[in-house]
Amino acid sequence: MIDSAIQSGVLTITLNRPDRLNALDSHDKAALGRIWHEALHNSAVRAVVLHGAGEKAFCAGSDLKEISATQQVATTDVLASCIPGVAEDFTKPVVAALHGHVIGLGISIAMYCDFRIAAPGTRFRFPEVEHDMLSGFSAIELPSLIGEAAALDIMLTGRSFDAEDAQRIGLVSSLAQDPLAEATALATRLAGLPTSAMAWSKRLLLAERRARLDRHYALVDQARLEVGRYEQ
C-alpha cells in the first residue's frame, strides 16, 4: 500500500506495508509509478519526501513471496516508473528518509532520490545475485554515484553495510536520528524556492544520467529477460 498527502507544497509518500517490511508487490509498484507521474504534473507539489512506515524498514525491495507464488515479475516499464527520474525526468526535489532495512529495489528507489537522509542504524544490502536476480537500474547508475569499485563490491558480493559506510561511499547524503523530520524540513525549504530554477538545475545536473538511462534501457530489459529468475 502506498499513501500520499500534500502539506505546504510538500508531498509525503509513505511505503505502507510494515508487516512486509514495506516490500513492494506488483500493485504497489504500479501505484508508486502513478504517484510519481501525477506529482510531476501537479503544480501544488513543489517537493517530495519518501519514507517507509513502521520501525523496521524503509523498503525491503520487491515482494519475493508474491513473485514465488505467481511466478510473475513486473515489466521493465513498470519498474522504471516506480523509480523517480527513470521512466521520465522528475524535476522536483525528492528527499528520502531511510531507516531500518533498505534492500534491493529499496536502494534503487532511494538512490534515484536527490537527497538520502539515513538513521544511524540503517542497514543496506543488494541480495539479488544470490537469488539469480538483477538490480538493473541500480547497476546503470551506481558506479557514477559511488565509483566502480564500490559498486562492484556491494552489488556482486551482496554484503550488508551500515549507514556510516553508505555515507562514506556517497550513497547517503547525511545521517540523522530522526530522518523523517530532517527530510521534511529540507523538503519544506526546497519547496519555497523558485520552481523553474529548481527544475532546470535538476535537468542540467542530471543530463548525463538521463543520457545513460536512454542508452542502456534496452540493455536492462535484455538482461532481465536472459537471467533465470529476474527482478529490478
Note the pLDDT of residue 7.
96
Q: What contacts 218, CB < 8 A, 6 or more positions away? A: none
Give residue 103's identity as a one-letter amino acid code: I
- Range 189-218 average pLDDT: 96
User: Taking Cα atoms as reference points, which of 167, 176, 171 lies closest to residue 155?
Assistant: 171
Q: What is the pLDDT of residues 212-229, one digit of tens each?
A: 999 999 999 898 888 854
* Mean of the per-residue pLDDT values of the chain: 93
222, part of any domain: yes
232, part of any domain: no
157, part of any domain: yes
Domain holding 155, by residue range, is: 2-226
Measured CA to CA, the distance from residue 5 to residue 40 in angstroms comes to 14
Pairing assessment for the beta strands 47-52 and 57-59 based on DSSP bridges: unpaired
Note the pLDDT of residue 86.
97
CA distances from 224 to 134, 152, 186, 232 (A): 7, 18, 36, 8
Q: What is the pLDDT of residues 63-92, one digit of tens each?
A: 778 777 777 777 889 999 999 999 999 999
Strands of the sheet containing 57-59, edge to edge, are: 57-59, 101-103, 123-125, 161-162
231, part of any domain: no
102, part of any domain: yes
Number of structural domains in the chain: 1
Q: Phi then psi for 99, rounded to 5 degrees?
A: -155, 165
18, part of any domain: yes
Note the pLDDT of residue 232.
42
Q: Is the CB of residue 99 less than 8 Å from the CB of residue 121?
A: yes
41, part of any domain: yes
- Read off the CATH number of the domain in which 89 is found: 3.90.226.10
- Range 158-177 average pLDDT: 97
Q: Exposed (0-12), middle (13-18) or buried (19+): which is 86, by Cβ within 10 Å?
A: buried
Q: What is the pLDDT of residues 92-111, one digit of tens each?
A: 999 999 999 999 999 999 99
